[in-house]
């Protein structure tokens, strides 16, 4: 240790004095470093004495609270027990520890080698470095150190000028206050007040739900100004790579979320698979419909015997109307008549003409003579109904089976069938009307059974009519494509198809739709055809009506999760489109032009400098601009910055502790008037 220190017990505050100063000339750099180091260890000593100093401060404040009124009231000096004593004489206090350590060989750790640095800025800054306490990161440690050094220097400067301890302490705390105020203003500029903070927090959650874990500041805040800056940065040399990586990461997250939703819907996907599932589902529905329809009609047998005479005048009238001539154009009429319907009409006339009894032969068990001597159909327990050439009657069983066959033609028929579905529908309705009359005549139970079967049949045939175009497609892929067209405006058709399909087929269709939503258009597609575009996803999503979306992504296993994931991606892509064009598929033209201009400026500056024509600072300035753009891009895409912008405005307790420790270490909080 340069110099010899002597401690005088009667020195004010227990300070030390120099007996002999060092003879040789000192290095200012070394002395400054020594002063900083000894200031740091002296600060540690004062921190160790904090409990005693705190108790002493409370005691001194109590004495002052009593002594001041005493002096004011009596005009006399306070008694000795109210006087503030020398802190250095209090065992365990900071001044006491400093004085006692200074008497030992360890005094060199807390006293500067050059006495000129005693009480100077270097020593105070060293004491303030005690504000660096348990930082979680290097950046946090640097922040604590900067605030501590700045606060200590400011506090000492204010005290040296004003002599006011409160003002010095306030100045010492100013770095943290300034930093917190700056953070507050920055946060408000980015997303506004508390309402904006909550909105930004919700946006971040929505983006994470869509697979974007690290959104940019503009995207997370919804701030259009920041979004515009990000849009410019994507074409600015120095920032292009940073912004492109951020975009690729965001788009990749959306693509993975979409792919996961498609896989959750069904592992079997594709236009062929979905089309096959649609047509297969329709076929299964048709077969099940026929079976159930037959069972319902069979239940009528308990109430309406099969040989019950049934008047088919309505059916005959419908057939006559279907085969009617165009007045005045008999030959033209033939071109619009259907041969099969004409044959059915002829057969119906023949079967209802009746067969007269032949003398000497026994009637059929189901045929009896009527009162007019003509054969009549007879139901057990019921009166005979005359039948003959003009009776227009058929057994109920025959009418029922005929209608079933007509229903099968409707269910099985397609666009290429020999009889249009419209003609079968007319005939089916006429047969139903004739059967309804018999059911009503046989009591309420017969009517109820008939109505149940008829309602089921009507609903089934109606659905088959709606889904027939999909079943009629030659290629399964065409069935899927046609269904997608119905999602734009014809939701009822989509509903009919969905109800017709089993759960697995619904999932296959939904998964295929999800997989195709974000497939990039040909103009920006890659050579493998796998490029995914959020803009294309949103466009295709918006082509579907909300009702179609709900129908398409429901009714199968895990459909709620699938709908939630797809909706989250749609919301995120909508935020992207609204906030900035950064998230479109850029052609790169703007970036190329900007790069050429900047590189041209750098080159021209270099050549000009070489020729003495221009200042060499031109290329250096261009390089600095690139570095600045890079730094700005990194700041706007940094996850910590984005998360901090959405947090509540508050002063970090660790920073307050750090600032207080720096004040204690520098001696400002332990000053004794």
What length does the chain have? 673
| Angular region, 192: left φ>0, alpha ψ -120 to 50, beta rest | left
Q: Give the model confidence (pLDDT) of 209-268 as tens digits.
A: 999 999 999 999 999 889 888 888 888 888 889 999 999 999 999 999 999 999 999 999
With CA atoms as reference, report the closest residue to 316 among 355, 353, 345.
Answer: 345
Portion of the chain with pLDDT greater than 90, in percent: 30
Tokens of 175: 């770095």
Contact 275, 475 (CB under 8 A): yes
Q: Give the model confidence (pLDDT) of 88-131 as tens digits.
A: 778 887 788 888 888 888 888 888 888 888 888 888 888 888 88
Asked whether residue 365 carries a pLDDT value surpassing 80, the answer given is: no
Q: Give the model confidence (pLDDT) of 128-177 as tens digits.
A: 888 887 777 888 888 888 888 888 888 888 888 988 888 888 888 888 88
State the average pLDDT for the chain: 80
Per DSSP, the three-state class of 326 is strand
Cross-strand bridge partners of residue 386: 376
Asked whether residue 10 carries a pLDDT value surpassing 60, the answer given is: no
Query: How many CB atoms within 10 Å of residue 390?
Result: 11
Alpha-carbon distance of 327 to 323, in angstroms, equals 12
Asked whether residue 375 carries a pLDDT value surpassing 50, the answer given is: no
Angle between the 559-579 and 240-265 helix axes, to the nearest 10 degrees? 160
pLDDT band at 671 (very low <50, low <70, confident <90, very high): low
Tokens of 96: 């006491």
With CA atoms as reference, report the closest residue to 557 among 345, 305, 184, 263.
Answer: 263
What pLDDT sits at residue 376? 40
Contact 628, 232 (CB under 8 A): no
- Sequence-ordered list of residues with C-beta below 8 angstroms from that of 337, at least 6 positions apart, any chain: 323
The alpha carbon dihedral of 226, 228, 229, 230 has a sign of positive
Q: Give the model confidence (pLDDT) of 396-442 as tens digits.
A: 999 989 988 888 888 776 655 678 888 888 998 899 999 999 999 99
Average pLDDT score over residue span 313-336:
88
Backbone angles phi and psi of 210, in degrees to 5: -90, 0
What ranges do the domains of the chain cover? Answer: 1-118, 210-264+546-637, 304-442
Asked whether residue 273 carries a pLDDT value surpassing 90, the answer given is: yes
């Amino acid at each position: 240790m340069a110099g010899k220190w002597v401690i005088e017990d009667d020195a004010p505050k227990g300070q030390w004095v120099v007996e002999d100063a060092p003879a040789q000339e000192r290095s200012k750099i070394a002395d400054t470093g020594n002063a900083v180091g000894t200031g740091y260890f002296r600060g540690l000593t004062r921190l160790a004495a904090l409990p005693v100093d705190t108790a002493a401060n409370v005691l001194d404040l109590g004495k002052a609270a009593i002594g001041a009124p005493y002096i004011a009231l009596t005009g006399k000096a306070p008694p000795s027990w109210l006087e503030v004593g020398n802190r250095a004489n209090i065992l365990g206090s900071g001044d006491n520890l400093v004085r006692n350590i200074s008497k030992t060989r360890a005094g060199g750790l807390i006293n500067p080698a050059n006495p000129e640095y005693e009480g100077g800025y270097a020593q105070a800054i060293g004491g303030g470095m005690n504000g660096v306490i348990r930082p979680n990161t290097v950046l946090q440690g640097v922040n604590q150190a900067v605030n501590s050094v700045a606060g200590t220097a400011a506090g000492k400067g204010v005290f040296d000028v004003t002599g006011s301890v409160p003002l010095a302490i306030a100045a010492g705390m100013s770095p943290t206050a300034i930093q917190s105020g700056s953070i507050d203003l920055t946060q408000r500029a980015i997303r506004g007040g508390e309402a904006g903070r909550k909105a930004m927090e919700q946006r971040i959650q929505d983006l994470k739900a869509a697979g974007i874990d690290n959104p940019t500041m503009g995207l997370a805040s919804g701030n259009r100004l920041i979004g515009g800056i990000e849009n410019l940065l994507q074409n600015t040399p120095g920032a292009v790579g940073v912004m492109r990586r951020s975009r690729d990461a965001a788009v990749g997250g959306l693509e993975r979320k979409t792919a996961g939703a498609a896989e959750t819907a069904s592992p079997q996907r594709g236009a062929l698979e979905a089309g096959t599932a649609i047509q297969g589902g329709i076929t299964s529905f048709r077969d099940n419909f026929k079976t159930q329809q037959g069972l319902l009609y069979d239940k009528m047998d308990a109430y309406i015997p099969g040989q019950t005479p049934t008047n088919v005048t309505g059916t005959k009238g419908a057939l006559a109307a279907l085969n009617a001539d165009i007045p005045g154009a008999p030959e033209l009429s033939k071109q619009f008549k259907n041969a099969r319907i004409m044959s059915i009409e002829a057969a119906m006339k023949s079967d209802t003409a009746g067969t007269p009894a032949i003398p000497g032969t026994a009637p059929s068990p189901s045929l009896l003579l009527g009162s007019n001597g003509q054969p009549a159909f007879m139901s057990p327990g019921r009166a005979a109904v005359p039948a003959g050439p003009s009776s227009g009657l058929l057994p109920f069983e025959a009418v029922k089976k005929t209608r079933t066959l007509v229903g099968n033609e409707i269910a099985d028929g397609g666009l290429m069938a020999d009889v249009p579905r419209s003609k079968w529908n007319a005939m089916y309705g006429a047969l139903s009307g004739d059967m309804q009359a018999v059911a009503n005549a046989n009591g309420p139970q017969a009517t109820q059974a008939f109505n149940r079967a008829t309602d089921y049949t009507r609903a089934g045939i109606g659905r088959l009519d709606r889904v027939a175009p999909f079943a009629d497609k030659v290629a399964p892929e065409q069935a899927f494509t046609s269904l997608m067209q119905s999602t734009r405006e014809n939701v009822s058709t989509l509903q009919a198809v969905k109800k017709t399909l089993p759960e697995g087929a619904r999932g296959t269709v939904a998964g295929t739709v999800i997989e195709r939503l974000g497939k990039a258009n040909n103009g920006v597609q890659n050579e493998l055809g796998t490029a995914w575009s959020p803009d294309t996803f949103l466009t295709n999503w918006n082509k579907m009506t909300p009702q179609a979306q709900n129908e398409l992504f429901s009714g199968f296993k895990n459909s709620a999760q699938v709908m939630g994931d797809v909706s989250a991606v749609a919301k995120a892509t909508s935020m992207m489109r609204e906030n900035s064009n950064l998230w479109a598929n850029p052609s790169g033209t703007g970036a190329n032009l900007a790069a050429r201009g900047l590189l041209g400026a750098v080159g021209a500056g270099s050549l000009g400098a070489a020729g003495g024509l221009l200042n060499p600072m031109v290329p250096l300035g261009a390089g600095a601009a690139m570095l600045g753009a890079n730094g700005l891009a990194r700041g706007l895409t940094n996850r910590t910055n984005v998360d901090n912008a959405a947090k509540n405005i508050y002063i970090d307790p660790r920073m307050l502790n750090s600032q207080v420790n720096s004040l204690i270490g520098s001696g400002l909080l332990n000053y004794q008037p």
